[in-house]
């Protein structure tokens, strides 16, 4: 069965969340905790929760957020000891995460260090989905969505609890904002409201970006033929400029660059990758 044309209620979904030593996997930050729940037709059919021992001490600033200290992870397995368990649990399910590029970039970075084959599962980001269907709420943090949908409070910033809360929030979104679709929405229906889905391979190496999220956005835009808004510092300029583009292809020589069509002028431009300060999906 083609996952995109299948009803969401017919598909196994894995809601996952990570706690980490910091925010930048490209600079050596690592996974501290992996938590996930698997659902089918809105019912939880499995869960996985494990602490992960990092290769270096946990920064105090990170420990303040999630409460995980070096003492907590002293006897925990290293990532290479749990990687296969994580991949087995995910299986062929559709993955849902809140601010998915953060979680997936950490998983991809650590899987690639182990030279493991990346999963090919669709990855749905519930953050832009929430922004699309709930434009009037103050913000789209998971805690805010839990209160909005009256999802029972559990510990925030712990992986399994946040995963379970997300599964309930997602079910509420599908129930209240896709109820007019006979038989329930397809995965394609939900992905369209989220602005597209990622793949693990979008975050893999190949483009010379330090930030995995930027690699992922360019690969996603090329695959989906979608527009991006780029903050770009052109050679000789002192300040970056925001430009809407439709990516066409990447080139590696004479210097890595992104060929694109600028909007709305429709002219072809060549953006040096080193000049790109930030990227986001075009609204």
Considering the domain boundaries, does residue 216 fall inside one?
no
| pLDDT value at residue 209 | 78
Taking the chain (283 residues) in runs of 10, the rounded mean pLDDT of each run is 87 97 92 98 96 96 94 96 98 96 94 94 95 94 95 81 96 92 91 92 82 90 95 89 95 87 93 91 87
For residues 191 and 121, state if they share a domain: yes
| pLDDT value at residue 202 | 92
Cβ burial of 236 (10 Å; 0-12, 13-18, 19+) is exposed
Do 52 and 32 meet the contact criterion of CB atoms below 8 Å apart?
A: yes
For residues 106 and 161, state if they share a domain: yes
For residues 38 and 169, state if they share a domain: yes
Strand 257-263, strand 241-251: pairing: antiparallel
Considering the domain boundaries, does residue 75 fall inside one?
yes
Considering the domain boundaries, does residue 215 fall inside one?
no
For residues 60 and 161, state if they share a domain: yes
Q: How many domains are contained in the chain?
A: 2
For residues 231 and 164, state if they share a domain: no
198-199 β-sheet, strand order: 43-51, 31-40, 13-20, 94-97, 122-125, 198-199
| pLDDT value at residue 237 | 85
Considering the domain boundaries, does residue 206 fall inside one?
no
3-state secondary structure 96-112: EECCHHHHHHHHHHHHH
Helix (H) or strand (E) holding 278: strand 276-281
| pLDDT value at residue 26 | 85
For residues 106 and 176, state if they share a domain: yes
For residues 63 and 174, state if they share a domain: yes
Considering the domain boundaries, does residue 32 fall inside one?
yes
DSSP secondary structure, 36-101, as one string: EEEEETTEEEEEEEEE---SSPPPHHHHHHH---TTTTTTSPPHHHHHHHHHHHHTTPEEEETTHH
Which residues carry out catalysis? 157
For residues 76 and 32, state if they share a domain: yes
| pLDDT value at residue 155 | 72
| pLDDT value at residue 157 | 73
Tokens of 159: 């992986």
| pLDDT value at residue 172 | 96
Residue ranges making up the domain that contains 172: 8-195
Domain stop point among 149, 174, 195: 195
């Amino acid at each position: 069965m083609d996952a995109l044309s299948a009803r969401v209620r017919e598909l196994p979904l894995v809601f996952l969340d990570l706690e980490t030593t910091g925010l930048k996997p490209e600079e050596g930050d690592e996974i501290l905790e992996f938590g996930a729940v698997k659902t089918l037709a809105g019912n939880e059919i499995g869960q996985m929760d494990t602490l992960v021992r990092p290769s270096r001490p946990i920064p105090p600033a990170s420990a303040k957020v999630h409460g995980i200290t070096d003492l907590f992870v002293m006897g925990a397995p290293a990532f290479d000891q749990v990687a296969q368990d994580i991949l087995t649990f995910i299986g062929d399910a559709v993955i849902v995460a809140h601010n998915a590029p953060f979680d997936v970039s950490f998983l991809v970075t650590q899987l690639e260090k182990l030279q493991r084959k990346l999963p090919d599962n669709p990855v749905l980001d519930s953050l832009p989905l929430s922004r699309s269907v709930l434009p009037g709420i103050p913000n789209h943090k998971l805690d805010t969505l839990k209160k909005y949908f009256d999802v029972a409070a559990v510990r925030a910033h712990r992986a399994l609890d946040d995963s379970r809360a997300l599964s309930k929030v997602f079910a509420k979104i599908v129930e209240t904002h896709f109820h007019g679709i006979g038989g329930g929405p397809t995965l394609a229906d939900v992905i369209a409201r989220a602005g597209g889905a990622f793949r693990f391979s979008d975050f893999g190496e190949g483009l010379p970006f330090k930030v995995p999220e930027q690699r992922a956005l360019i690969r996603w835009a090329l695959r989906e033929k979608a527009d991006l808004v780029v903050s770009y510092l052109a050679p000789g300029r002192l300040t970056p400029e925001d430009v809407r583009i439709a990516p066409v292809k990447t080139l590696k020589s004479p210097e890595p660059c992104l060929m694109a069509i600028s909007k709305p002028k429709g002219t072809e431009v060549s953006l040096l990758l080193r000049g790109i300060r930030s990227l986001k999906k075009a609204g």
